[in-house]
Structure 1
């Protein structure tokens, strides 16, 4: 089985796919990995340089510079140095074929679909040429990876990011705080009783005033007549 299964070139700032290799694998796991690669392509601006998202059977490797990134799905047997050497070679081939103006003005997916033939040729070379013929280049890549290790993600991370980008943020639920009421003190009880007594006295006073007004409704007017 080939170690490099799929490759594509994308624009970093928006994840627009510019070109891609033809798929020959249609297993459920591979198609799921393709879906996660598309999600990861939208986040490449957050991860400049090299990076890997590793799963059980497949790994996604990416390498970006300026506004162009190359991505690949590889089997778990593929050494990281070989994957990044492949991506670096692909990046040089693409940027030598298309200038930055053409890349920046691309408005539709796979605007450079004709580059597929180059991707297939480079992919075949890395899958079937003996690694001893690339020994010097692989050693150089390995040294680079020691000094500048790639960002390491998991394929599950891409699903989390996809949910956030679609507005479905992960909710962190915590139990509500348990507030306990303080016991009532003797001073509080006394204050409550006094307030009740004052309210009762005010109520009784109001009733007496109302009764007095009803029993002698003309007294006020008589007093006014006498004074006049």
Structure 2
């Protein structure tokens, strides 16, 4: 198990790790978290979206500088229903379907970041393999270190019956509640995580197959949790009109 900042621990390499980290943010691991956006500072007003009629979303500052300069997402949320898009990556295009009905504030943030080019030219920095029991590819950090975030956090949007089947898009976070930021993970094999990570969409079959093929090559050091051996770089994220 790689020892990583909580920002990178967001997807966890095993359910037991969640329990061992607990919510103690003064612990060595908790000092540097996955969204590097968990220490909630003062809340910052979010811009209003002209004509938006979605729910009110609060995006508190996390006390860390943004990995890339971006504006806060609109408030109220400027998204609704199902939103289609795609990620152009070095392993091929990955179609994405975002569920703004179930996770409006998370999708609102993801769309805002995508449209500002936040995810462009970034790498998916972390892979956990079947040996951990958790099969995910973690992306969304422009620094590629597992510590970068957008400078704000997002409230969790989960229910007790939230699950993580293959093809799921979900938010990474620290063990603390409401600590998601820009980092997200792609589930490429059915994964037993507790219902604590916001599911905000899914990827298409072709994209899932491409991620599975890349994941089959394992990590750069051959361990169960680390940098993917086959680089998965996000060139751009496009949201359909």
Q: Compute the TM-score of the two structures, normalised by the length of structure 2.
A: 0.25
Higher relative contact order (CA 8 A, sep 6+): 2
Q: From the two aligned structures, give the one with the greater helix fraction.
A: 1
Larger radius of gyration between Structure 1 and Structure 2:
1
TM-score (norm 1): 0.26
More strand by share: 2
